[in-house]
Amino acid sequence: MYVGIDIIEIKRIERLFSANEGFLKKIYTENEVAYCNGRKNKYQHFAARFAAKEAMFKALGTGWAGTMKWTDIETLNDETGRPYLNLYGSVKELADKKNINSIAVSLSHCQDYAIAEVHAEAVAELVDERIATKQDLKELEIILKQDVKQLELRLTIRLGAMMAASIAIIAALVKLL
């Protein structure tokens, strides 16, 4: 798992907006700009998205470097308001190289600060990034069957404990009657 976190002062983003006309286009995608401009306290939302970009760069272990663009990371919200990241360009290439297949982002802001945390999970590589052979698949099948057996055992133990607790409750109720 890769983790990144970033915090930023809202006033810093406001100053960058007023001091640099190109800042908006250099840092944010059109979708991000449309979202933030449609919100009350838009600078809080811009700052949270800036922090998300920084946190993603940190999770990748690179910081903002090389051919990466700020707009290679886009923070949007689903229909419930939950934020998520879209990756493009060099950032997507690096995430793919690291086998990252799941990214969770959390944003928060108040009057003075915005913060973002990113958790990126990678798929375990099969033998040297080559196409899995039948032997690789057989080994994976054995591992998965062992995992299923362990889960079944845990479930059986929990169900047994729940049944014992239920019997004890019924016995106590019978005594009360």
Residue after which a domain boundary falls, among 122, 141, 158 = 122
Q: In the prediction, which pLDDT does 127 show?
A: 39
Q: 69 with 96, same domain? A: yes
Q: 95 with 143, same domain? A: no
Residue after which a domain boundary falls, among 78, 103, 122 = 122
Q: 118 with 132, same domain? A: no
Inform me whether the pLDDT recorded for 172 exceeds 50. Answer: yes
What range does the domain containing 150 cover? 127-176
Q: 9 with 92, same domain? A: yes
Nearest to 107 by CA among 78, 75, 80: 75
Beta carbons of 114 and 51 less than 8 angstroms apart: yes
Nearest to 17 by CA among 35, 36, 3: 36
CATH number at residue 37: 3.90.470.20
Amino acid, res. 5: I
Q: 42 with 82, same domain? A: yes
- Residue 132: which pLDDT band, with cuts at 50, 70 and 90? low
Nearest to 78 by CA among 115, 31, 22, 16: 31
pTM (predicted TM-score): 0.69
Inform me whether the pLDDT recorded for 131 exceeds 60. Answer: no
Which two structure tokens, joined as six digits, stand for 80? 């419930």
Q: 109 with 131, same domain? A: no
**Total structural domains within the chain:** 2
What is the spatial distance between Cα 141 and Cα 152, in angstroms, rounded to a whole number? 16
Q: 85 with 151, same domain? A: no
Inform me whether the pLDDT recorded for 72 exceeds 70. Answer: yes
Residue after which a domain boundary falls, among 76, 93, 122 = 122
